[in-house]
């Protein structure tokens, strides 16, 4: 069974950093592009970014709202994808979901981890 | 910036059919639209990919189609457990994006 488990969320002050992780099981994480999607309370889904698998260079793309502040990386040997969030803003407060990209859609999702940016 | 437009809400009674639309300028050009179901308090779940394909385990009450620049999700034989938010999604080489979401209320 494919499983994605996010961890590392929490309360952080504006301007600080936080790293959340996504651990995959039940599949070979290294064979897939992986993405992050966030959802503020009561709002819709917002794409954050994704990282290609190594066969496609392992490069990452980001939404304009987080570009130059967020970085996605992967450790395929540990089946983990990371989202490093720097210079956090109050508007980054959201549930952050990890998802497996199946070439045309987000085909598997984690349960999410809450990130709250507040002073 | 690609945009997908959905109605904020739709409703239907048990046993009826409802259709949720998703309109975007590139929808008609490619078969890239997917649909996600998100019941209250849960993570999203893929229910349709490439306009009209269902992943394994998704009931055939859920179907997708496309006409011109509008994709549609139809749920037939509406059940109470179908009450959820529904999102369409699409992608380009470098981006992924979602519609604003539609809240389905089962009356």
Ordered per-residue pLDDT tens for chain A, 119 residues: 999 999 999 999 999 999 999 999 999 999 999 999 999 999 999 999 999 999 999 999 999 999 999 999 999 999 999 999 999 999 999 999 999 999 899 999 999 999 999 99
Q: In this predicted structure, what is the pLDDT of residue A103? A: 87
pLDDT band at residue B43 under the 50/70/90 scheme: very high
Q: Which residues of A touch B100 (CB under 8 A)?
A: 44
- Note the pLDDT of residue A68: 97
Indicate if the pLDDT at residue B42 is higher than 80: yes
Report residue A18 CA to chain centroid gap: 12
Cβ contact, residue pair B49, A35, below 8 Å: no
DSSP assignments along B48-101, one per residue: EBTTTBPPTT--TTEEEEEETTEEEEEE-S--GGG-EEEEEEEE-SS-EEE---
C-alpha–C-alpha distance, residues B66 and B40, integer Å: 27
CB distance A97–B36 less than 8 Å? no
* Nearest-neighbour CA in chain B from A35: distance (Å): 9
**Beta carbons within 8 Å of B1's beta carbon, 6+ residues apart:** none
For all residues of chain B together, what is the average pLDDT?
96
Please give the pLDDT value at position B2: 66
Q: Do A107 and B49 touch (CB under 8 A)?
A: yes
B94 contacts in chain A (CB < 8 Å): 61
CB-CB contact of B101 with B17 (8 Å): no
Give the model confidence (pLDDT) of B58-90 as tens digits: 999 999 999 999 999 999 999 999 999 999 999
Whether A106 contacts A35, CB under 8 Å: yes
Query: Cβ of B36 and A106 within 8 Å?
Result: yes
- DSSP 3-state of B40: coil
Q: Which of B66, B96, B101 to mutate to test the interface with A (most CBs of A within 10 A)?
A: B96
CA distance from start to end of chain B: 36
3-state secondary structure of B2: coil
At residue A111, the pLDDT reads: 98
């Amino acid at each position: 069974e494919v499983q994605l488990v996010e961890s590392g969320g929490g309360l952080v002050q504006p301007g600080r950093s936080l790293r959340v992780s996504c651990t995959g099981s039940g599949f070979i994480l290294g064979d897939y592009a992986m993405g992050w999607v966030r959802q503020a309370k009561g709002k819709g889904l917002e794409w954050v970014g994704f990282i290609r698998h190594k066969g496609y260079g392992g490069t990452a793309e980001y939404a304009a709202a987080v570009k130059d502040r967020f970085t996605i990386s992967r450790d395929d040997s540990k089946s983990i994808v990371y989202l490093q969030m720097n210079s956090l803003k109050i508007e980054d407060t959201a549930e952050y979901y990890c998802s497996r990209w199946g070439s045309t859609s987000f085909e598997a999702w984690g349960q999410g981890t809450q990130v709250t940016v507040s002073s | 910036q690609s945009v997908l437009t959905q109605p904020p809400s739709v409703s239907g009674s048990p046993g009826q059919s409802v259709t949720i639309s998703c309109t975007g300028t590139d929808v008609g050009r490619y078969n890239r639209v997917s649909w996600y179901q998100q019941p209250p308090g849960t993570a999203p779940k893929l229910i349709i990919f490439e306009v009209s394909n269902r992943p394994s385990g998704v009931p055939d009450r859920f179907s997708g189609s496309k006409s011109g620049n509008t994709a549609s999700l139809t749920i037939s034989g509406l059940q109470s457990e179908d009450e959820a938010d529904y999102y369409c999604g699409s992608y380009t080489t470098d981006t992924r994006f979602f519609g604003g979401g539609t809240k389905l209320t089962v009356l």
